[in-house]
A = this chain, B = another copy of it.
Amino acid sequence: MRIHHECVSCAINQCQKIVEMSLTDENSRRDAMLFSLKRASELFSKDSIPAVTGGLLFLDLYEFTGNDDPFREYKRLSNEMAGRLVGHFENSDLKTALKLAIAGNVVDFSTGYNPEKLEEDIRRVLDESLLIDHSDELFERLKRAGTLLYLVDNCGEIYFDRLFIEKLREEFPDLKIIVAGKAGPIINDATVEDLLEAGFGEIAEVISTGSRLPGTPLDYVSGEFLRVFRSADVVIAKGQANFETLSELNDSRIFFLLKAKCPAIAREIGVPMGSLLCLNLHLR
C-alpha cells in the first residue's frame, strides 16, 4: 500500500508525540520538530509505503532526540493491562480467540490509543462481527499446513496473539508455529524481547524480522527472516503496518488480521473505518 493524503499529517503528528515524550525543553522540542519536517520532506514521495517511510523518519528522530525507545512506558502499560485482561478469556474457542487477536489490535499508539481503555474496548469489539471474514478458509489451510508464520504488531495486543496461538496449537497440534517480532524498539511494536517476556518462547519459535521498521518490509528484513517467510505455508499478518508492507505482494498465503483504524487503510481496503477484518486478498 502506498501513502494516502492523510499519511503526511499522521507522520508529523506522531513525530510531535515522540518529541514530547523524549524532550522537555521547548527550544529542543521546536528544533526536533523542524528536523522532523525536513526529514519527512526528504523521505516521503508518492510511492512511499506509510509504515516504512514513517519508520525511517521515527528512527532518525530517535537518534536526533537521543531517546532510542520513547514508548518504553507506553508498551509496559499496554502489556500490563493486556496481560491482566487476557486471563478472563482463557476458555474462548478458536474463533473467539481469533477475534480477540483482532480486537487486541486496538492498542496502537499511532492512532492515539490510551491503553487504559483496553478492557472496555475488547469487550465491545467481541460483540461486533468481522466485516470480512476469511477465517474458515484460514483454518482449512492450517489443517494442511506444515508451518505458520505469525507476524505480530503491537505490545499489549501480543497477549491476545499468545492466547490465539495457544488455541491454534490445540486445534492443529502438528503445525509448526513461528512468531516474528521486531529487531529493536520502534513506536509501540513488539520486539523479540517483548515476545520472549510475554512467554512466546514456550509456545512457538520466536524469530526477528531483522529490522526495526514497523510491519514486514521485505526490502529491509534479514536474509534469514526472508528464508522463513518464503518457506511458510500460511502467514498471519497482524495490524495496519503489516498490511501496508505486504498488501502488494499478491501472496495468497497471507491472512491479514486487523482493525481498519485510520481513513487511509479503510479507503485502501474499501471498508468503513473501524471494520474488523480477517482478510485474504485472494479470496475477495
Interface set of A (CB-CB < 8 Å, partner B):
3-9, 12-13, 15-16, 19-20, 26-27, 29-34, 36-38, 40-42, 44-46, 267
A32 — nearest CB in chain B belongs to which residue?
B5
Beta-carbon contact of B44 and A34 below 8 Å: yes
In the bound assembly, the distance between CA atoms of A235 and B42 in angstroms comes to: 43
Interface of A (DSSP majority class): helix
A43 — nearest CB in chain B belongs to which residue?
B37
Pick the contact of A13: B9, B41, B44 (CB < 8 A).
B9
In the bound assembly, the distance between CA atoms of A45 and B31 in angstroms comes to: 9
> Closest approach, in angstroms, between the C-beta of A249 and any C-beta of chain B?
22
Known: A3-B30, A5-B16; 16 extra A-B contacts, CB below 8 A, are A4-B26, A5-B29, A5-B30, A5-B32, A5-B33, A7-B33, A8-B36, A9-B13, A9-B15, A12-B12, A12-B37, A27-B46, A34-B44, A34-B45, A41-B41, A41-B42
Known: A34-B44, A37-B37, A40-B37. A26 touches B8 (CB 8 A): no
> Closest approach, in angstroms, between the C-beta of A174 and any C-beta of chain B?
45
For A13, the chain B residues whose CB sits under 8 A away are: 9, 13
For A20, the chain B residues whose CB sits under 8 A away are: 5
